[in-house]
Amino acid sequence: ACGLTVSACASADTTRSGFLSDYSQLQPRTDTVRAKVAQHRNPQLLAPIEAVWIEPTVLVGDIGDGFSDEEKTVITQEIDRRLCFALSGRFDIAPQPDPSAGRLRAAASRVRPTNAVGSSASAVANFFIPGPLGVRVPGSTGGLAAEAELLTPDGQQAAAVVWARDAQVVGTESPSLSRIGDAHQLTGAFADIVADAVTPEGRPKRDNNGEDPCARFGPRIRPEGFITRAITGLYTPELSGGTAQPSAEPAPEERPDENRPD
């Protein structure tokens, strides 16, 4: 069986981890090509939500073998960072939990490791065959599966997403010597799908008056990452995302959540 995005299978799978408060209304999306997506939207519940608190992303299920605590933290904090960037143009981003704000919960449910040897070979090949799309060694690509939901201030599920995607043999994800290289790059694709699912239809782009509501998650652009990729052909998560720092938020099991099933 393919499991959750992370096997040798050619396509990803939206297996449910049990993280979301409700899966019963999820429907598969048919307009996505590289990712498998199931989502639910309640326009009436979404419309009044103007501000969102982004809970620290957690890990659920069998994430994958051999990942260090540091690697796991880099993945979850990059999901936080990307979600904030994607949502900040449509919502006010609450700097702390706010009873009047919606609550965005997210979890990484599976990480498929990137193969360093295959990535090295891919980087060499792409050096000699430049172009907008890179070519990867089959079997060397990684992947990511994740879930998210937006809850109203009173705890109702306004929108939910179950998402999974593997890096492609021919695609835009750069090879990496890091085991989390592909998963790290795919966090942006996940965040874009989540933002699309939770944004009320027709909502105009929000003006933040020159202030970055996502500054606490790290810079939006890391020039050192672009430079390293241009020179070596390799993606380096440590130079391309936010800095991994211990979260001040208690872990989910340390705080009650009336919306989680028993």
What is residue 162's DSSP assignment?
E
Position with higher pLDDT, 147 vs 6: 147
pLDDT tens sequence across 56-115: 999 998 777 688 999 999 999 999 999 999 999 999 999 999 999 999 999 999 998 887
Q: Where are the beta strands (DSSP E) in the chain?
A: 27-28, 35-41, 51-54, 58-59, 92-93, 102-112, 134-135, 143-151, 157-166, 170-171
Instruction: Give residue 44's Cα distance to chain centre.
Output: 26
What is residue 203's DSSP assignment?
P
- For the record, the structure tokens of 14 come out as 């939206």
What pLDDT band is residue 131 in, cutting at 50, 70 and 90? very low
H/E run at residue 225: helix 223-232
pLDDT tens sequence across 7-21: 333 345 667 889 999
Lowest mean pLDDT among 87-96, 209-218, 248-257: 248-257
The pTM for the full model equals 0.78
Position with higher pLDDT, 219 vs 154: 154
